[in-house]
């Protein structure tokens, strides 16, 4: 009888553990940027917090530096379920949905307060668009204000003509076209190689990206703080993977996503100051463009805003109306 009781205890323990193992989920999180980048560090902390607080129901494993999928592959990988969760630079996905490009319209939002207002005005439409593609939106964090990097000094519109320019989305390609620069599409991980080989000699990106890639080591001596826009990275989840979770775990994820978003915005603000100082400390000339160039860029921005409104249709118009 004692032997039978022991066998029953072992059987039910095994059954309980088996059911728990079957209910536990593991997600692979695809991150494009290196582990030291503040976006990746923030996302990794989010993954750790969800894993620890889920009570074993969900484990999220972060894969920074494009080690799981490169930046340009992450959206598709999450959408198709090859990765359950991932982070992607939003405005690189304009062909998927023009609304994802709203934060990269030049000079539409040139401060963190305006960037937050634009985010709040556009979030609902962005979430709806992603939901229709089988994706759950978790959170979004901006990069510091985008500035103009160059190997040579830029003092006039003429200095922009023919400049080999690193583009990373349709907005930066269009800026190049409207200013006479020659665009080449290059992901962030390839920046150093592109500058060192002479494939490009200028770009518009954040001081963080320039600092992380040690851009000064590749002959880039100038950073013009034009505060063109505050583009965001977003973290998304495959809807099928999401639906496998119980409601309590889903609520936990959304709660931790809100924490990560708030922290990410603060990290971005700190980087906007500290990373420009790092560029200057490395010997780069950090400053503003002259008034003629500033007016030129604003004119380009107005042209692009009109083009974007035509492309984004009524959804875009409602977002801009809510923003203004």
293-309: pLDDT as tens digits:
999 999 999 999 899 99
Predicted confidence (pLDDT) per residue in 160-191, tens digit = 999 999 998 888 999 999 999 999 999 888 99
How high is the pLDDT of residue 21?
Answer: 44
Q: How far are the Cα atoms of 107, 145, 297 from residue 294, in angstroms, in the given order? A: 10, 15, 5
pLDDT value of position 170:
86
Each residue's pLDDT tens digit, 83-104: 999 999 999 999 999 999 999 9
Strand bridging mode 182-185 / 202-205: unpaired
List CB contacts of 260: < 8 A, sequence separation 6 or more.
42, 43, 45, 46, 138, 139, 141, 235
pLDDT at position 245, please?
Answer: 98
pLDDT digits (tens, 9 = 90+) for 5-62: 565 555 555 544 544 444 699 999 999 999 999 999 999 999 999 999 999 999 999 9
What is the pTM for the complete model shown?
A: 0.86
What is the structure's pLDDT at 10?
57
pLDDT digits (tens, 9 = 90+) for 215-226: 999 999 999 999
> Helices H, strands E: what count in the chain?
10, 11
pLDDT in tens, 118-134: 999 999 999 999 999 99
| Triad 51, 52, 58: Cα angle to 5° | 30
Average pLDDT, the chain: 93
Query: Residue 20: what pLDDT?
Result: 45
Q: What is the pLDDT of residue 18?
A: 45
Asked whether the predicted pLDDT for residue 159 surpasses 80, the reply is yes
2-143+231-275 and 147-229+282-323: identical CATH topology:
yes
- Enumerate the domain spans of the chain: 2-143+231-275, 147-229+282-323
**Paired strand residues for 223:** 149, 286
Tell me which CATH code domain 2-143+231-275 carries. Answer: 3.40.190.170
CATH code reported for the domain at 147-229+282-323: 3.40.190.170
* pLDDT digit string, tens, across residues 189-247: 899 999 999 999 999 999 999 999 999 999 999 999 999 999 999 999 999 999 999 99
What is the helix (H) or strand (E) element at residue 18, kind and residue range?
helix 2-23
């Amino acid at each position: 009888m004692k032997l039978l009781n022991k066998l029953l205890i072992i059987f039910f323990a095994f059954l309980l553990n088996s059911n728990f193992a079957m209910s536990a989920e593991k997600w692979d999180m695809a991150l494009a940027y290196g582990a030291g980048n503040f976006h990746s560090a923030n996302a990794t902390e989010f993954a750790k917090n969800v894993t620890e607080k889920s009570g074993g129901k969900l484990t999220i494993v972060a894969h920074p530096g494009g080690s799981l999928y490169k930046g340009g592959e992450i959206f598709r990988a999450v959408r198709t379920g090859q990765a359950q969760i991932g982070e992607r630079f939003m405005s690189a996905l304009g062909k998927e949905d023009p609304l994802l490009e709203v934060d990269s319209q030049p000079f539409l939002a040139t401060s963190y307060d305006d960037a937050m207002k634009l985010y709040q005005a556009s979030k609902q439409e962005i979430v709806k668009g992603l939901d229709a593609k089988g994706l759950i939106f978790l959170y979004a964090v901006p990069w510091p204000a985008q500035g103009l990097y160059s190997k040579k000094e830029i003092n006039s519109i003429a200095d922009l003509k023919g400049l080999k320019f690193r583009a990373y989305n349709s907005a930066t390609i269009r800026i190049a076209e409207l200013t006479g620069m020659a665009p080449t599409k290059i992901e962030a991980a390839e920046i150093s190689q592109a500058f060192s080989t002479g494939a490009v000699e200028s770009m518009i990106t954040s001081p963080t990206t320039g600092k992380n890639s040690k851009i000064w080591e590749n002959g880039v001596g100038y950073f013009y703080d034009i505060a063109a826009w505050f583009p965001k990275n977003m973290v998304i989840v495959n809807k099928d993977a999401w639906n496998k979770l119980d409601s309590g775990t889903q609520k936990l994820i959304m709660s931790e996503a809100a924490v990560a978003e708030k922290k990410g915005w603060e990290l971005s603000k700190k980087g906007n100051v500290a990373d420009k100082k790092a560029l200057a400390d490395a010997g780069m000339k950090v400053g503003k463009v002259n008034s003629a160039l500033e007016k030129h860029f604003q004119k380009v921005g107005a042209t692009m805003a009109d083009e974007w409104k035509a492309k984004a249709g009524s959804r875009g118009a409602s977002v801009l109306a809510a923003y203004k």
